[in-house]
């Protein structure tokens, strides 16, 4: 029997955006919407932008632009219209009725991608919860989106058949998922407390989506963390152990990438995931130096860090993808510039991180007798020691240690 491969047709979409006088970074936002649509598996055929003083309360965009879009839909067999703003349930229903195709907004598109990317049980629960909360007010009067059984972008996750259930059923599902997540969060909190109380130095990877965080993690750990040139390639927080210098160990946590206008449902749903970086000793903020909008992306990350009350955590900015960058104006200090694909980047990163740890730690000097030299192995695990060689009975050892661990030096005293 000959097996034939079924080719999945790409969903044909057009993008729509409205720019108000108060709108910032509109070009970046529309470019990002196109990338999001492509990440979701769509084929973007065209993009429409309209400048207005305010959004149309009924259809979001003006009647003239709406007719232009409708003609485009008929001419190019468009399947879906994606709007680069958050639509009200009424606007969504009116647009579908007028255009005759599925209409989703930026928020639903991001939720859809998160549904594609979630791998862990907790991640899937969080996405499911966010989608249900987003769709709940849209269950009444929702047109084509809920009436037809076709799949496609915007219908991943809980599924249309579940979303067609009545409000009481949806609320019951929300309560059930929140109960499950509370149990998961309690277990996560226990693990987190153990990690916080440990002697291990903790590093968190943060940055705009597709900045190269997973690539940096692979460079430092020699592990196979999933990495790809796409948005939200990594969703679930991953923590691994790395060696910075000799036996000095640290944990490195990779988290979900940030993005502007992240749906409020997802900010709340993934707060526990983002908080994995709240209890670290050092944040590595990865920036895609090759992206012309990298300065704006940095501001988005800093704004989210401010919301999470994490601006007081020491931060080292890594300007990544320098091999593809035409020009870079560094806006953050301290920083390091590199390409994670460069074989030299691993040594450079470890050196920069160890230098940064020395700045955070307290210097010390002590005299160690040869009979106590074996204790230096354990000291190496929590302190960065300068090179030493025992050529005399007593050797002077210097290094850097966390002030709260300085008591560990007492065992070397006579």
Tell me: the pLDDT tens digits for 308-345? 788 999 999 999 999 888 777 766 778 889 898 888 89
Give the pLDDT of residue 270: 60
What is the spatial distance between Cα 333 and Cα 316, in angstroms, rounded to a whole number?
A: 7
Q: What does the block give as tokens for 365?
A: 């000097």
Q: Which of 38-47, 65-74, 179-188 has the lowest mean pLDDT?
A: 179-188
In a domain, 393, yes or no: yes
351: domain CATH number is 3.40.50.300
CA neighbor of 10 nearest in space, from 77, 61, 94:
77
Phi then psi for residue 350, to 5 deg, are -60, -40
Q: Note whether 339 and 408 are same-domain residues.
A: no
335 touches 317 (CB < 8 A): yes
Residue 328 CA to its chain's centroid (Å): 23
Which residue reads 């006088």 in tokens? 21
Among 74, 97, 114, the domain-final residue is 114
* 14-35 average pLDDT score: 88
341 marked as binding residue: yes
Going by pLDDT thresholds of 50, 70 and 90, the confidence category of residue 144 is very low
| 150 annotated among ligand-binding-site residues | no
Please say if the pLDDT value at position 273 is more than 70.
no
CB 124 within 8 A of CB 269: no
Per-residue pLDDT at 284 exceeds 70: yes
pLDDT tens for 66-111 read 999 999 999 999 999 999 988 999 999 999 999 999 999 998 998 8
- The C-alpha atoms of residue 81 and residue 108 are separated, in whole angstroms, by 12
As beta bridge partners, residue 38 has none
Contacts 24+ apart (CB under 8 A), 409-413: 409/364, 409/366, 409/379, 411/372, 411/375, 412/366, 412/367, 412/368, 412/372, 412/375, 413/366
Q: Find out whether 4 is annotated in a ligand binding site.
A: no
323 is in an annotated binding site: yes
Which residue range(s) make up the domain with 387?
Answer: 361-412
- Confidence (pLDDT) at 8: 60
Residue 370 lies in a domain: yes
Residues 301 and 404 placed together within one structural domain of the fold = no
Q: What is the DSSP letter of 72?
A: H
d(CA 89, CA 278): 35
The answer to whether residues 383 and 286 belong to one domain is: no
- 59 and 78 together in one domain: yes
- Please check if 182 is assigned to a binding site: no
**pLDDT at position 414, please?**
62
248 and 370 share one domain? no
| Phi-psi domain of 141 (left: phi exceeds 0; alpha: psi -120 through 50; beta: other) | left
254 is in an annotated binding site: yes
Of 99, 114, 129, which residue constitutes the final position of a domain? 114
In terms of DSSP bridges, do strands 383-385 and 394-401 run parallel, antiparallel, or are they unpaired? Answer: antiparallel
Question: Could you tell me the CA-to-CA distances from 15 to 32, 60, 80, 239 in Å, in that order?
Answer: 11, 13, 9, 37
CA 3 to chain centroid: 39
Q: CB–CB of 147/163 below 8 Å?
A: no
**Do 371 and 339 lie in a common domain?**
no
Q: How far apart are CA 268 and CA 249, in angstroms?
A: 32
Query: Are 346 and 403 in a shared domain?
Result: no
| pLDDT at residue 5 tops 50 | no
The answer to whether the predicted template modeling score (pTM) of the entire model surpasses 0.75 is yes
Do the annotations mark residue 320 as ligand-binding? yes
Number of domains in the chain: 3
The values of phi and psi at residue 209, to 5°, are -60, 140
208 labelled ligand-binding: yes
Q: What is the pLDDT of residue 3?
A: 47
Instruction: Look over the chain and give the mean of its residue pLDDT values, rounded to a whole number.
Output: 83
Has 332 been labeled as part of a binding site?
A: no
Q: Same domain for 297 and 374?
A: no
Report how far apart, in Å, the C-alpha atoms of 75 and of each of 38, 67, 71, 256 are: 21, 12, 6, 39
In a domain, 161, yes or no: no
121 belongs to a structural domain: no
Question: Which of 32-36, 68-72, 122-126, 378-382 is predicted least confidently?
Answer: 122-126
Closest to 366 (Cα-Cα) out of 409, 407, 400, 328: 409
Last residue of a domain, one of 114, 140, 167: 114
Binding site annotation covers 380? no
pLDDT category, 228, cuts 50, 70, 90? low
Please tell me whether residue 167 adopts helix, strand or coil conformation.
helix
Q: What is the mean pLDDT of residues 31-57?
A: 92
**236 is annotated as contributing to ligand binding:** yes
232 known member of a binding site: yes
Least confident stretch, 180-189, 261-270, 292-301? 261-270
What average pLDDT does range 398-411 have in this prediction? Answer: 90
Structure tokens given for 311: 């601006």
User: Could you tell me if residue 187 is inside a domain?
Assistant: no
Q: 235 among the known binding-site residues?
A: yes
263 and 304 part of one domain: yes
Q: Distance between CA 370 and CA 375 in Å, rounded?
A: 10
What is the radius of gyration, based on Cα positions, of the chain?
A: 26
* Alpha carbons 168 and 268: distance in angstroms, whole number: 22
80 and 56 in a common domain: yes
The answer to whether 293 is annotated as binding is no
322 assigned ligand-binding residue: yes
Nearest to 401 by CA among 375, 379, 383, 381: 383
For residue 214, say whether it is annotated as part of any ligand binding site: yes
- Residue 318: what pLDDT? 93
Instruction: Provide, rounded to the nearest whole percent, the portion of the chain with pLDDT above 70.
Output: 83
Q: What is the pLDDT of residue 44?
A: 95
71: domain CATH number is 3.40.50.11060
Residues 347 and 211 both lie in one domain: yes
Question: What CA–CA distance (Å, rounded) separates 296 from 20?
Answer: 18
Is residue 344 in some structural domain? yes
The verdict on whether residue 250 carries a ligand-binding annotation is no
Annotated binding residue 404 = no
140 is an annotated ligand-binding site residue: no
257 is in an annotated binding site: yes
Does residue 146 register a pLDDT over 70? Answer: no
- Check whether residue 278 and residue 332 sit in a common domain: yes
Q: Which two tokens stand for residue 230?
A: 């796409």
Is 163 within a domain?
A: no
């Amino acid at each position: 029997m000959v097996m034939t491969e079924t080719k999945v047709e790409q969903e044909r979409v057009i993008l729509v955006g409205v720019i108000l006088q108060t709108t910032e970074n509109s070009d970046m936002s529309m470019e990002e919407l196109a990338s999001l649509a492509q990440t979701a598996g769509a084929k973007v055929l065209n993009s429409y932008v309209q400048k207005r003083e305010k959004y149309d309360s009924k259809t979001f965009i003006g009647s003239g632009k709406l007719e232009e879009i409708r003609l485009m839909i008929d001419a190019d067999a468009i399947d879906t219209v994606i709007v680069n703003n958050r639509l009200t349930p009424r606007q969504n229903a009116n647009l579908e009725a007028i255009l005759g195709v599925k209409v989703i907004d930026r928020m639903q598109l991001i939720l859809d991608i998160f549904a594609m990317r979630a791998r862990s049980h907790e991640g899937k629960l969080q996405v499911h919860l966010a989608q249900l909360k987003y769709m709940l007010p849209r269950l009444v009067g929702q047109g084509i989106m809920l009436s037809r059984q076709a799949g496609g972008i915007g219908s991943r996750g809980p599924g249309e058949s579940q979303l067609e259930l009545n409000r009481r059923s949806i609320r019951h599902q929300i309560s059930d998922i929140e109960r499950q997540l509370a149990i998961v969060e309690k277990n996560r909190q226990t693990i987190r407390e153990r990690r916080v109380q440990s002697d291990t130095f903790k590093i968190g990877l943060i940055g705009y989506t597709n900045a190269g965080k997973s690539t940096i993690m692979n460079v430092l750990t020699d592990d196979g963390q999933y990495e790809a040139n796409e948005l939200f390639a990594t969703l679930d927080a991953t923590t691994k152990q790395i060696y910075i210098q000799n036996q000095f160990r640290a944990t490195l946590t990779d988290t979900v990438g940030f993005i502007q206008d992240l749906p409020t449902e997802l900010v709340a749903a993934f707060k526990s995931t983002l908080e994995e970086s709240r209890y670290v000793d050092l944040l590595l903020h990865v920036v895609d130096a090759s992206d012309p909008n990298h300065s704006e992306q940095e501001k988005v990350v800093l704004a989210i860090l401010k919301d999470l009350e994490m601006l007081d955590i020491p931060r080292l900015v890594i300007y990544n993808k320098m091999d593809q960058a035409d020009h870079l104006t560094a806006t953050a200090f301290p920083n390091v510039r590199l390409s994670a694909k460069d074989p030299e980047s691993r040594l450079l990163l470890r050196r920069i991180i160890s230098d940064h740890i020395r700045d955070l730690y307290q210097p010390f000097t002590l005299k160690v007798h040869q009979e106590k030299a074996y204790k230096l192995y354990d000291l190496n695990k929590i302190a960065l020691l300068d090179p030493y060689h025992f050529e005399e009975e007593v050797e002077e050892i210097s290094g850097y240690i966390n002030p709260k661990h300085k008591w560990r030096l007492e065992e070397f005293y006579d």
